[in-house]
Chains A and B, each alone.
Chain A
């Protein structure tokens, strides 16, 4: 029954052939899997341009990008949190905190726009650090800790501003939300900077590796000498800082620091991350996915507006598209 040893050679050749054959087969489905979202965006763009004359104009494109920037910044921060298998529900409230803190500074001193900027960003960073500390020290799940922080931060914004918006008349302050660099809106420039920053953090630093490892298997991370608690805390701090940044841009765009703004912003951010293929159980995901995710959400919002879909229906359509994108993504992955 025994085969001859010399069979080995031909065996090797046939395996190689089989591999080459299967390799070709994969590359097609691989393409689809990798670039499925890109195709989705292209289809949306083609459809929208053919229906609406205004969609594919440079004004509208720049408009879309500007609208996207706030959710984009939030989603990039959220990507880190979700990669560690956490979640942050407090970012919407933090946007308001940043708005009132920054607003109060600029309200009292219309020239101190950079002080306002720093104030908004850093206070939110502090809030994020506190959330991270709670998670690290008391080992409570991120969902619970940030749910608590969501109401605490909202309450803080209301108490701090006495429930009233800071109406801002400073011309200089318009820079962050309404200014331009050449033809590119400043929020878009900030978004691009944040993209580059998060890209390099995630892919080129030790910290990035820790984030992936913690999300994939916290025990293995700890056994490899990684300080899991500290890394988690830094992740939530980073997310707080970025929420603060988004808050400043928003305040500048609407010329006021509003304590009640930003409600459910976290949901769009989470949606963008999940559409981008990042696993809610952590360890798997990419910045490029998140970028595609917030682009899709932005295009949907813009397109539905251009098509004059009623805002009630918009919510349903948005939900369906999100569910569809994720189903497509998971089924194409399972097929492998």
Chain B
């Protein structure tokens, strides 16, 4: 009991209109992986930001190694042996991978003020190899995918050689293979007696990697248990405050005619010869590793990226999609995986963000926005998706990560599109809201919508899809009926391209 490396006691923190933390506790032992769980907006990230000196608590105390400390700012936290992978990725896009990793710790040529970029690149290369990443140390951050950026942030946090590493949803953009690599790393850290605070909404991960778990709800401490002492249902009810029975409420839907077909879609160096189709009422799951090209294909279908060859057919007729507006006009809508980059205008309100892609629907005449309709429609959606906020005029910035993701989803759900493309739709969303979103998806499919869902979370793919398309290295490796395959088959196919013979 005394071997706590970290003790946070009685922490309180308020933001305008919100009590984010209310007498929260967290005690972490040396060398353990401690899961911090709770619904979206429960206060997990806020608690960890307080630990890193990003926010200052209104009350409470923090001890490290039994000594009480005051953490003024992140520099102090780093000096105390703390480092953190932020939930909101914050790379400097114009800088290279190695510059980002060693930002603020640049190695100099001895006795000079000049940065030894060569040595930094070499060190970065070694780190990247350890994590099996095929990225050049001198690649600019803005050329990387979200998943790759997330890996870089993980590498960066670990490269500080800290005693306590905080991982705030480190795997939200990663697929199974990369997650397994991360587990390996974490086990290595444990052997070195490093403590890890691990935040995730993927319950399987918690039972795989964590030694104990602390649950917060509405900013309050609910309980702390060794992982062996609880099961999944118990954990969920601690988080949500009620029982949750059906996690993947897939509805039985009769599939109708084919609505969207993609033929021979290619973009040089990114993806080749992609052909697939979706039917009305169908949910097509798309699986694959980082860099498999799955997001890029869908971005091209949505008109956000160029394509070099191939055609897109809607109801059998070829479509000329040059930009997003064309796609939206033809009833195709996409929810982007990169919510900060392409999903949200952070400095504007929840209402304005939800309305942004629906202004044609919310207008009176050609120019004017129907303010009343806007307010009502946005408030209704925010309520349906259970966005935790004080009102729809809050800026999106002030929301917790999962609640921001709900705003991105809400944008695409106001006007029911014919074809909905979801790229990691439930990234960072808690179990309760996830079930809600999945049941909405089922509802939409029943009404005849065709849904394409990219997800790195195989249970989600298996639970929701009618068919599953597996991609790898820019090509389709196989399209399966869900009933014919297991999770292992999909993973194997994504990894090696090996297709299970039916």
Q: Do A and B come from one complex?
A: yes
- Decide if B223 touches A3 in the complex (CB within 8 Å): yes
Q: A18 is contacted by which of B19, B221, B224, B368 (Cβ under 8 Å)?
A: B19
Q: Which of B223, B237, B348 has the most CB of A within 10 A?
A: B348
- Decide if B345 touches A213 in the complex (CB within 8 Å): yes
Chain A, 279-292, contact with B by CB distance < 8 Å: what is the 0/1 string?
A: 10001100000000
Q: Is the interface of B mostly helix, strand, loop or mixed?
A: mixed
Of the four ranges (under 10, 10 to 19, 20 to 34, 35 or more), the interface on chain B belongs to 35 or more
Q: Given A15-B218, A220-B345, decide whether A225 and B17 contact each other with a Cβ distance below 8 A.
A: no
Chain A, 14-33, contact with B by CB distance < 8 Å: what is the 0/1 string?
A: 11001100110010001000
Q: B22 is contacted by which of A1, A15, A213, A224 (Cβ under 8 Å)?
A: A15
CB-CB < 8 A to B304: which residues of A?
Answer: 222-223
The distance from the CB of A198 to the nearest CB of chain B, in whole angstroms, is: 14
The distance from the CB of B169 to the nearest CB of chain A, in whole angstroms, is: 21
In the bound complex, what is the Cα–Cα distance between A46 and B328 (angstroms)? 56
Would you call B411 an interface residue if the criterion is a C-beta within 8 Å of the partner chain's C-beta atoms? yes
Interface residues of A in 216-247 (CB under 8 A from B): 216-217, 219-227
The distance from the CB of B338 to the nearest CB of chain A, in whole angstroms, is: 8
CB-CB < 8 A to A14: which residues of B?
Answer: 22
In the bound complex, what is the Cα–Cα distance between A205 and B476 (angstroms)? 44
CB-CB < 8 A to B428: which residues of A?
Answer: none
Q: Given A15-B219, A22-B17, A23-B17, decide whether A8 and B367 contact each other with a Cβ distance below 8 A.
A: no
For residue A2, which residue of chain B has the nearest CB? B223
Q: Given A1-B223, A212-B348, decide whether A224 and B369 contact each other with a Cβ distance below 8 A.
A: no
Number of CB contacts from chain A to chain B under 8 A: 115
- Decide if A216 touches B18 in the complex (CB within 8 Å): no
For residue B349, which residue of chain A has the nearest CB? A212
Interface residues of A in 253-301 (CB under 8 A from B): 279, 283-284
Q: Is the interface of A mostly helix, strand, loop or mixed?
A: helix
Q: B336 is contacted by which of A12, A30, A223 (Cβ under 8 Å)?
A: A223
Please give the number of chain A residues whose Cβ is less than 8 angstroms from any Cβ of chain B in the complex. Answer: 39
The distance from the CB of A141 to the nearest CB of chain B, in whole angstroms, is: 14
- Decide if B223 touches A206 in the complex (CB within 8 Å): no
Interface residues of B in 327-361 (CB under 8 A from A): 327-328, 334, 336, 341-348, 352, 355-357, 359-360
- Decide if A283 touches B325 in the complex (CB within 8 Å): no
- Decide if A8 touches B347 in the complex (CB within 8 Å): no
- Decide if A8 touches B241 in the complex (CB within 8 Å): yes
The distance from the CB of B454 to the nearest CB of chain A, in whole angstroms, is: 15
Q: Which of A14, A205, A209 has the most CB of B within 10 A?
A: A209
For residue B221, which residue of chain A has the nearest CB? A3
In the bound complex, what is the Cα–Cα distance between A214 and B14 (angstroms)? 31
Would you call B489 an interface residue if the criterion is a C-beta within 8 Å of the partner chain's C-beta atoms? no
- Decide if A283 touches B348 in the complex (CB within 8 Å): yes
Would you call A204 an interface residue if the criterion is a C-beta within 8 Å of the partner chain's C-beta atoms? yes
In the bound complex, what is the Cα–Cα distance between A204 and B369 (angstroms)? 6
CB-CB < 8 A to B16: which residues of A?
Answer: 22, 26, 30, 336
- Decide if B225 touches A219 in the complex (CB within 8 Å): no
- Sample of 4 more A-B contacts, CB < 8 Å, known A22-B19, A213-B356: A30-B16, A209-B359, A222-B342, A224-B356
Using a CB–CB cutoff of 8 Å, the interface residues on chain B facing chain A are: 14, 16-19, 22, 217-225, 237-238, 241, 304, 323-325, 327-328, 334, 336, 341-348, 352, 355-357, 359-360, 363, 367-369, 371, 390, 411
A-B residue pairs in contact (CB < 8 Å), sample of 24: A1-B225, A3-B222, A5-B237, A5-B241, A11-B217, A18-B14, A19-B390, A22-B16, A22-B18, A205-B367, A206-B359, A206-B368, A209-B352, A219-B341, A220-B345, A221-B356, A223-B334, A223-B343, A225-B323, A225-B324, A225-B325, A225-B357, A279-B347, A284-B347
CB-CB nearest 7 A-B residue pairs: A216-B345, A224-B357, A2-B223, A18-B19, A223-B342, A225-B328, A217-B345
